[in-house]
Amino acid sequence: MMDSQTEKLTEPLGLSLLDGGGVFSTWSETASSIDLHILDPEDTSVSLHVLSLEQNDGGIWSTGDDRLQTGIKYVLRANGPDGPRHAFQPERNLLDPYAKGVLRESPSDYHCVAVDRGFDWESVQKPGTAISESVIYEAHVRGMTRINPAIPEEIRGSYAALGHPATIEYLTNLGITAIELLPIQTFISEPRLVNLGLINYWGYNTINYFSPHMRYASEATRAQGPEQILRELKTAIRELHRAGIEVIMDVVYNHTAEGGSKGLTYSYRGLDNSSYYRQDDEGNYHDTTGCGNSLNFAHPMVQKLTLDSLRYWTEELQIDGYRFDLAATLARDEHNYFNKEHPLLKAMQSDPIISQAKLIVEPWDVGMGGWQTGNFPPGFPEWNDRYRDSVRTFWLGDISQARSSGNHSNGVRELAGRISGSQDLMNERHGPNAGVNFITAHDGFTLWDLVSYGVKHNSANGEGNRDGANHNISFNHGYEGETPNPSISYARRKAARNLMGTLLLSAGVPMITAGDERLKTQGGNNNAYCQDNVITWQHWDPTSHQLDFEQTVSHLIALRKQYPALRPRNFTKVDEPTPESDQMLWYSVRGDEMTIDDWHNTERRTLQRLAYHLMNDGSKQGIHLVINGTEVVKNVTLPRVKDIEEFELLWDSSLELPPKRSIILKAGAKLRMVETSMQLFIVR
């Protein structure tokens, strides 16, 4: 027999449509009454019917009624006790936390819509790409297609444009296996931004976890309402799946758009402020997100909200994976401490539906003990910020310092650890694919700005350039911003190729930020969260150099897919490769094995990495990477290794385009390495 706690965790919440009516349930431990108002479809300020919900065990409030049907517009109203932890406003319209359709009536007033969720998936299945085979492309639904001339103007910037053949062809040609979308669950802009004439463009301000953001539907679809918005999004996902491209959602379960204790009330605060949000007895919020509030994941019903939402998107919309924003907050216990054995994490892993999705975490928040990279349990690949910083430092920070002081701060030891899978961080995990490697993300400089600006330029954000990170590990190569100087421009493009090449030739899961493949600039803005304009939109009129760079990225992705030695599933060893473990060997500029001095000398910045993979037929596949991390031409001796006769060039970062002819060097030959460059070989 189930106890009341178990029963309420399994009971379906929200509106369940049945033949001849429906059943509605919501949850509040502290409310004294909750009503469901069915609104006049022509004038939503008028309530046609008021249904009083009955309180059951475990804080569940329910009603059944034949007027609960597809298409109705409805809101909730709740009353309850006064006190510092409570925020009941009995006349305030509230969103159903489980609403599958949401409409905006005014800047501060929204209502729910009961939708028919039926859809024909046309037997298209999820691609099911292994995480070890994944190449992730982080993109913004609107910004990706807003000015793409290959897409009809009336649908640009929409879900329909996301699923348009032109978008899919572009992603396919690039070699992307998964598109990771910035938040598409219904969100709103903060009042401060609205007062500045700006909006929350990125979308990390969620107001409802079950409905798609209405603004991303095409105009014609928006006019038809939430049901058609849902269908437009499902159609885009289906067509991406048909092309073999997975869809990953960036989800923001750590906080809501209701802000701090004096913020507006839309849903959760008006239903049960005391239970949904972390706060002390005086009602002061414990904010570990920097956004005004933090959901209380020590409470089983907050965990249930998250799990039910994930299950809904995974089943109903066929989503392939999630990236959890500020995920350390999701794993904080009743004492607000991070706990890698948190019940929510365990529930995700054990759930037969959720566990089939990719569960990628941003392993930090802004609370005490918030940096948890490497500490999440197996099954939760983590954004690897150490990888980002180490690679930027090697190719940009150290080069900048060497120009000014004549000395580098780092040799090759740190870089070697990162490109081989960050075993120091992930050593108890499931190998290198426990880490998602990235050089850039939506937050920060674009790749081109990283090599073109030394400081941020965020004046357009209306905060006097105070917002955004100051520590970027960027390098402008001698001039701030765009320059007509061809030598500086070439050095920047080469640096960008080195950064992208390092990313795509490293062990671990690579994530590319949309637009970086065409060297997109944001004019030095490293916090463009409020810019819905050409600053953030992807450009579709590339220069010849940008097209060359795109070809380079596509070439590198193709090499990664072609050669398993570039994407080991487990941490490598120095022994002969086995079906379980690849082999990785390291050589110096002299062609011999690295010495202790080679590893620890900050001025030894030339490195050779030989990786072997055991193929199914028993043969060994060998891939050799050579790195020159100095602004000096290096003559590198290729190693003499048993069974290797020659090295065939696959890629050279000093070239604007992938090599057009075969270049073969004998084992032990001298290799001329252009300053700050990389070369990749297949060995035979």
Residue 172 is predicted with a pLDDT of 98
CA of 631: how far to CAs of 95, 395, 605, in Å?
59, 10, 10
pLDDT digits (tens, 9 = 90+) for 597-619: 999 999 999 999 999 999 999 99
Range of the domain at 579: 565-683
Q: What's the average model confidence in pLDDT over 360-380?
A: 96
% of the chain surpassing 70 pLDDT: 99
Q: What's the average model confidence in pLDDT over 6-24?
A: 86
Residue 209 is predicted with a pLDDT of 98
The band of 430, judged by pLDDT with boundaries at 50, 70 and 90, is: confident
Determine, yes or no, domain membership for 261: yes
Residue 11 is predicted with a pLDDT of 83
Question: At how many degrees (to 10) do helices 343-350 and 300-316 cross?
Answer: 30
pLDDT digits (tens, 9 = 90+) for 117-138: 999 999 999 999 999 999 999 9
Picking from 126, 178, 175, 181, the residue whose alpha carbon sits closest to that of residue 158 is: 181
Identified catalytic residue from 232, 246, 250, 325: 325
Q: 288 is written with which tokens?
A: 């570990």
3-state secondary structure of 425: helix
Determine, yes or no, domain membership for 174: no
pLDDT digits (tens, 9 = 90+) for 476-485: 999 999 999 9
| CB-facing half-sphere around the CA of 648: CA atoms within 13 A | 8
Instruction: Tell me the C-alpha distance between 506 and 510, whole Å.
Output: 8
Give residue for tokens 């996301």.
162
Domain final residue pick, 342, 360, 380: 380
| CB-facing half-sphere around the CA of 236: CA atoms within 13 A | 27
Q: What is the DSSP letter of 564?
A: G
Strand pairing report for 606-614 and 33-39: unpaired
CA of 460: how far to CAs of 188, 522, 532, in Å?
20, 11, 11
Picking from 292, 257, 268, 305, the residue whose alpha carbon sits closest to that of residue 88 is: 268
Residue 3, pLDDT above cutoff 60: no
Residue 105 is predicted with a pLDDT of 83
End-to-end CA distance of the chain: 66
Determine, yes or no, domain membership for 599: yes
463 classed as catalytic: no
Picking from 309, 301, 310, the residue whose alpha carbon sits closest to that of residue 9 is: 301
Q: With contact defined as beta carbons under 8 Å apart, do 194 and 107 qualify?
A: yes
3-state secondary structure of 122: coil
The band of 356, judged by pLDDT with boundaries at 50, 70 and 90, is: very high
For residue 17, list its beta bridge partners: 22
Name the CA dihedral angle for 412, 415, 417, 419, rounded to a multiple of 10 degrees. Answer: -130
Q: What's the average model confidence in pLDDT over 275-282?
A: 96
Which of 17-21, 411-415, 456-460, 579-583 is the least confident region?
17-21
Instruction: Tell me the C-alpha distance between 180 and 251, whole Å.
Output: 10
Determine, yes or no, domain membership for 531: no
Determine, yes or no, domain membership for 20: yes
| Domain at 601, CATH number | 2.60.40.1180
Residue 1 is predicted with a pLDDT of 35
Instruction: Tell me the C-alpha distance between 377 and 49, whole Å.
Output: 49
Instruction: Tell me the C-alpha distance between 381 and 359, whole Å.
Output: 7
Q: What's the average model confidence in pLDDT over 235-262?
A: 97
The band of 261, judged by pLDDT with boundaries at 50, 70 and 90, is: confident
DSSP per-residue codes, 153-197: GGGTTSHHHHTSHHHHHHHHHHT-SEEEES--B-B---HHHHHTT
The tally of domains found in the chain comes to 2
Name, in order, each residue with C-beta under 8 angstroms of 34's C-beta and a sequence gap of 6 or more. Answer: 26, 28, 52, 53, 61, 76, 77, 78, 79, 271
Which H/E stretch holds residue 126? none
Instruction: Tell me the C-alpha distance between 348 and 340, whole Å.
Output: 12
Residue 439, pLDDT above cutoff 70: yes
pLDDT digits (tens, 9 = 90+) for 306-334: 999 999 999 999 999 999 999 999 999 99
pLDDT digits (tens, 9 = 90+) for 484-516: 999 999 999 999 999 999 999 999 999 999 999
DSSP per-residue codes, 295-351: B-TTSHHHHHHHHHHHHHHHHHS---EEEETTGGGGGB-TTS-B-TT-HHHHHHHH-
362 classed as catalytic: yes
Identified catalytic residue from 308, 362, 365, 517: 362
| Domain at 285, CATH number | 2.60.40.10
pLDDT digits (tens, 9 = 90+) for 69-112: 999 999 999 999 999 999 999 999 999 999 999 999 877 789 99
The rounded mean pLDDT for the chain is 96
Domain final residue pick, 314, 345, 380: 380
Helix, strand, coil percentages for the chain (3-state, nearest 5): 30, 20, 50
Determine, yes or no, domain membership for 400: no
Residue 2 is predicted with a pLDDT of 41
Picking from 310, 320, 96, 288, the residue whose alpha carbon sits closest to that of residue 208 is: 96
The band of 7, judged by pLDDT with boundaries at 50, 70 and 90, is: low
Residue 144 is predicted with a pLDDT of 98
Residue 373, pLDDT above cutoff 50: yes
Determine, yes or no, domain membership for 467: no
CA of 593: how far to CAs of 339, 599, 602, in Å?
42, 11, 17
pLDDT digits (tens, 9 = 90+) for 297-310: 999 999 999 999 99
Residue 8 is predicted with a pLDDT of 65
Q: Judge residue 58's burial from the number of C-beta atoms within 10 Å of its C-beta, 0-12 exposed, 13-18 middle, 19 or more buried.
A: middle
Instruction: Tell me the C-alpha distance between 96 and 87, whole Å.
Output: 16
The band of 5, judged by pLDDT with boundaries at 50, 70 and 90, is: low
CA of 548: how far to CAs of 381, 554, 645, 647, 660, in Å?
32, 10, 32, 25, 13
CA of 9: how far to CAs of 134, 307, 435, in Å?
34, 10, 32
Give residue for tokens 């609104």.
39
pLDDT digits (tens, 9 = 90+) for 629-654: 999 999 999 999 999 999 999 999 99
Domain final residue pick, 380, 415, 450: 380
Give residue for tokens 């999630």.
322
Q: What's the average model confidence in pLDDT over 452-474?
A: 97
% of the chain surpassing 90 pLDDT: 95
